[in-house]
Structure 1
Amino acid sequence: MNDNARIEAFIIKFGSFAPKRYSYGEIKKMINKFNDKLGQGGFGSVYKGKLPDGRLVAVKSLNETKSNGEDFMNEVASISRTSHVNIVTLLGFCFERSKRALIYEFMPKGSLDKFIYSQGTDNQGHQLEWKTLDDIAFGIARGLEYLHQGCNTRILHFDIKPHNVLLDENFCPKISDFGLSKLCKRKKSVVSMTGARGTAGYIAPEVFFSKFGGVSHKSDVYSYGMMVLEMVGGIDVEASQTSEIYFPSWIYKHLDQSMNLNLNEEITGEEEEITRKLIAVSLWCIQTNSLDRPSMTRVIDMLPGSIQSLELPPRPT
């Protein structure tokens, strides 16, 4: 069965669960002939658009050459099963021969990465207050916990990183981009993988090396931990893969020293407390052995607490 027939069969099987289907002509009209580009990735490009009822949307147009249909089907299958304040809403899709597009609710603040890297070209790094970062970390944790525990089918995301967290006008975070996700039965904890999936710097050790345990929802927990460290330190984890310092070890060393990690920025006692707590939680999340990592349910319990109530995690290896 060729790709097109496979996807068509998949859409029919989905029946009423599938979001609204649009023609390619409707998509072009919706995004005003590709005039307002929001971003670009390996998968294709994202454009700002408007539905006939006036709602703003983001339309992800998938590359014809890069997409074999699996990413497209993953995204439609996974996200159609979700309904949560911290998961982006899929409003529709287009599948017309080689033309494939996904239509999402529009998120006015864009992706989280724009707000956390100190090296940002327009130096937006840490414009966000610590309380806002704390709320964002908690919202992402709630979204992930929902994917792991709240759906009838457990969804493993496999690409949690700041670029895939979108922010609405109130900085409420929503997890997006389910192109690499896997669906698995609730009772089944370990999934089989053919080849590593994810982004360098965020991929859990067991995805590469089976001696560290099976690939499971704990692999998303690892990615979440790396992302929260990144939010605290303002360091691009993907880029820092090439540097000599292993970022988690460096940050662990600073945990007992002054927590002034951010370019000599003065922080208050309350902000220092938030920082220490976020670091302690994320260091638990990135433990090498997946069995030592907390579930996202446990992370949600840890985040509202104080640093005093948290046991300090072992040093990362």
Structure 2
Amino acid sequence: MDICLEMLISYLFLFLAFTVDLREAQNGCDDKLRNCGAHGPAIQFPFRLSSQPENCGYPGFTLSCTDTHDTVLELPISVKLYVKEINYTSKVIQLYDPHHCFPRQLRGLNLSSSHFQFKVNSNEYLYNYTLFKYPSPIEDKNYKYYNIPCLSGPTYQVYAIYYYRSIAELPLSCTKMYNLLSIPETILKNGSDYNVLQLSWSIPKCGHCEAKGKKCRLKNNSSKSQTECFPKDSKGALSKSAIAGVILGSFLLPLAIFALYRLYTYDKVEKEHQAKIEKFLEDYRNFKPTRYSYTDIKRITNQFTEKLGEGAYGTVFKGKLSNEIHVAVKILNISHGNGDEFINEVETLGMIHHVNVVRLVGLCADGFRRALVYEFLPNDSLEKFISSTDTKKCILNWDKLHDIALGIAKGIEYLHQGCGQRILHFDIKPHNVLLDQNLNPKISDFGLAKLCSKDQSAVSMTTARGTMGYIAPEVFSRNFGNVSSKADVYSFGILLLEIVGGRKNVDVTVENTSQVYFPEWIYNILEQKEDMRIFIDDDGDAKIAKKLAIIGLWCIQWHPVGRPSMKDAVQMLEGEEDKLIMPPNPFASAGPVQIHANIPIKRLNHELEVIPE
């Protein structure tokens, strides 16, 4: 196998030596004009189709085809318009809206981040407008306004007026909708004559190539978006390629057949994954997510400059949609999974709107490349605050830790009861709880989530899912009961005990430390009536720690029937500590646990034995 690969690589280098000058033929950018349909506009440089390689067009000039063979241009931010005509001589592209409603389509348009600008006549100007909703038609002719029928309804009318007019001049019953900034006046006029928007571009500059009778393309091996000229006639080069192909074909054929077979099998599996994702996104389109191309993702992340973290399913980078809007972009690993994690995240987060659940801003499914765009949370994960043994690094007081625990509980309760379908997370842990600028918690990472109906008391699972140490016993073996929403309750209980464990100055010491189970040690402290003030100076803080510990122990009962629901957990967190009672002992202790309060805490792993079904 290795010898075959070495021979294949050697022949490939030899073949490239013959065809190094054939960039245009090799990179998939041929001289023929392309279009989306028989009557669609011709597509050539600086434009390219999304199906072509990126170097076939200039950045920001990507077009796509619809199922009806229409040509679409996407402008910042997520403004999609249909292409009517492209004039490469005058550098003007004509766009239209099939729904005849530019004021709706251009909401959020930001041409400053693109190479396009509005094409207007010498006597036309760009204005800022504000759209207002009125309960009845306006008859006041003291100021100029435009009626927008496509946005109006049976009980109200929508009008656009100049942005600079004072609100005090308008009727009291008006309601402001949004602004349209720097647009031509003709966009607001009605009629078929005004349903065409003209944009022009000045970059890239290819006039000098056309003057020489040559064509224009991106320059290879350039860090910037530079262009170069090349001859239109490449017959000689193609002949050279044909000769080289005939000479080397007989040598490469056996190895090529083997390589093609491997590529075919991989490509077949990958296409099945892509088809599954595309079908899901087609069904999901009603939720109107923002879908980005991979080129957009690279622009948003500034070519993946700032890395925030890395996990089993992908790498997270910091990005920005504008100077004010920052995002976190997770690039999913190509070699991991079959797209189920991607579908889980999109399907789950698409139906969630809660203050304690991270918000999905957009997604990318561009061939085999997949990415998810989330709101950016500057304070990282809860794990960073509770896993450090250096107490000076922890800036969270006990009141804030209680608020964080309550926020997480409310988020999980919403997943279980607040949506149309019950959502089981299956990976609740401090690492998957992110903190915003005000240290408010938000649950993230729904790659292992499972959806089920609210009246379904148990879910079927073929394999265990989750992170070791946080997985409920019934997920490993049905001997403990059926898998249900109580699995998330168990994980939440472990999280609460970790919050308590990260705030104390004690250690657990026995002759065989591998026999010590951290939650059991906490239970023994409370059962033996040990005062939490031994480890925490402030009496109020000791009460909070005891409250979190008792609730955590209730949540990690080994049998699901013994655990509270998340609704009950929220009520316990909101209630008084004095009203809580100790739960039954869920542990079969191997012996007494010795407690010493003078040594910094040492966390111990405890793995559950997998019991076959």
Aligned residue for 2:574, secondary structure, equals: coil
Cα distance between partner residues in 2 of 1:77 and 1:2: 19
Aligned to 1:250: 521
Matches within 5 A, 1:216-295: 216-234=484-502, 243-255=514-526, 256-259=529-532, 266-295=536-565
Q: Does 1:39 align with 2:312?
A: no
Aligned residue for 2:458, secondary structure, equals: coil
Aligned to 2:418: 150
Shift, 1:53, TM fit: 6.6
Shift, 1:10, TM fit: 0.4
Cα distance between partner residues in 1 of 2:434 and 2:533: 27
Alignment partner of 1:187 out of 435, 450, 455: 455
Aligned to 1:102: 372
Q: Does 1:170 align with 2:438?
A: yes
**Is the CA contact (8 Å cut-off) linking 2:533 and 2:539 kept in structure 1?**
no
Cα distance between partner residues in 1 of 2:371 and 2:578: 48
Aligned to 2:586: 316
**Is the CA contact (8 Å cut-off) linking 1:113 and 1:162 kept in structure 2?**
yes
Cα distance between partner residues in 2 of 1:5 and 1:86: 33
Deviations 1:246-303 (Å, cap 9, x if unpaired)? 1111111122213258xx5x43111011000000001000001101100000011100
Alpha-carbon RMSD across the aligned residues, in angstroms, is 1.7
Shift, 1:15, TM fit: 1.7
Deviations 1:77-128 (Å, cap 9, x if unpaired)? 00101000000000000001111100000001010000001336xx665431
Q: Does 1:137 align with 2:405?
A: yes
Aligned to 2:598: none
1:259 alignment partner AA = M
Alignment partner of 1:212 out of 480, 504, 524: 480
Shift, 1:245, TM fit: 1.1
Aligned to 2:103: none
Q: Does 1:74 align with 2:347?
A: no
**Is the CA contact (8 Å cut-off) linking 1:277 and 1:307 kept in structure 2?**
yes
**Is the CA contact (8 Å cut-off) linking 1:20 and 1:93 kept in structure 2?**
yes
**Is the CA contact (8 Å cut-off) linking 1:31 and 1:59 kept in structure 2?**
yes
Cα distance between partner residues in 1 of 2:288 and 2:483: 28
Q: Report the CA distance shift for 1:21/1:124 in structure 2 as closer, same or farther (over 3 A).
A: farther
Aligned to 2:61: none
Alignment partner of 1:196 out of 464, 469, 485: 464
Identify the structure with bigger relative contact order (alpha carbons < 8 Å, sequence gap 6+).
1
Q: Report the CA distance shift for 1:295/1:125 in structure 2 as closer, same or farther (over 3 A).
A: farther
Give the TM-score taking structure 2 as reference length.
0.49
Give the TM-score taking structure 1 as reference length.
0.93
Task: Please identify which structure carries the higher helix content.
Answer: 1
**Is the CA contact (8 Å cut-off) linking 1:46 and 1:60 kept in structure 2?**
yes
Cα distance between partner residues in 2 of 1:54 and 1:100: 25
Matches within 5 A, 1:101-120: 101-119=371-389
Aligned to 2:299: 29
Q: Percent identity?
A: 52
- Misfit runs of 4+, over 4 Å: none
2:416 alignment partner AA = H
Cα distance between partner residues in 1 of 2:514 and 2:306: 36
1:258 alignment partner AA = D
Aligned residue for 2:516, secondary structure, equals: coil
Cα distance between partner residues in 1 of 2:489 and 2:392: 27
Shift, 1:54, TM fit: 3.4
Deviations 1:20-48 (Å, cap 9, x if unpaired)? 10000000000111110000111111011
Alignment partner of 1:61 out of 331, 336, 339: 331
Matches within 5 A, 1:2-21: 2-21=272-291
Cα distance between partner residues in 2 of 1:39 and 1:267: 36
Cα distance between partner residues in 2 of 1:125 and 1:249: 27
Cα distance between partner residues in 2 of 1:15 and 1:243: 52
Unpaired runs of 5+ residues, structure 1, are none
Q: Report the CA distance shift for 1:72/1:124 in structure 2 as closer, same or farther (over 3 A).
A: farther
Cα distance between partner residues in 2 of 1:226 and 1:18: 37
Of stretches 107-116 and 306-315 in structure 1, the one that deviates more from structure 2 is 306-315
1:149 alignment partner AA = Q
Q: Report the CA distance shift for 1:132/1:195 in structure 2 as closer, same or farther (over 3 A).
A: same
Cα distance between partner residues in 1 of 2:288 and 2:445: 17
Shift, 1:227, TM fit: 0.6
Deviations 1:115-164 (Å, cap 9, x if unpaired)? 001336xx665431000100000000000000000000110000000000
Q: Which has the larger radius of gyration?
A: 2
Q: Does 1:86 align with 2:359?
A: no
Deviations 1:35-85 (Å, cap 9, x if unpaired)? 100001111110110014730000011010013100000000001010000
Cα distance between partner residues in 2 of 1:155 and 1:174: 15
Cα distance between partner residues in 2 of 1:315 and 1:105: 41
Cα distance between partner residues in 1 of 2:537 and 2:496: 18
Aligned residue for 1:180, secondary structure, equals: coil
**Is the CA contact (8 Å cut-off) linking 2:472 and 2:491 kept in structure 1?**
yes
**Is the CA contact (8 Å cut-off) linking 2:487 and 2:560 kept in structure 1?**
yes
Of stretches 278-287 and 298-307 in structure 1, the one that deviates more from structure 2 is 298-307
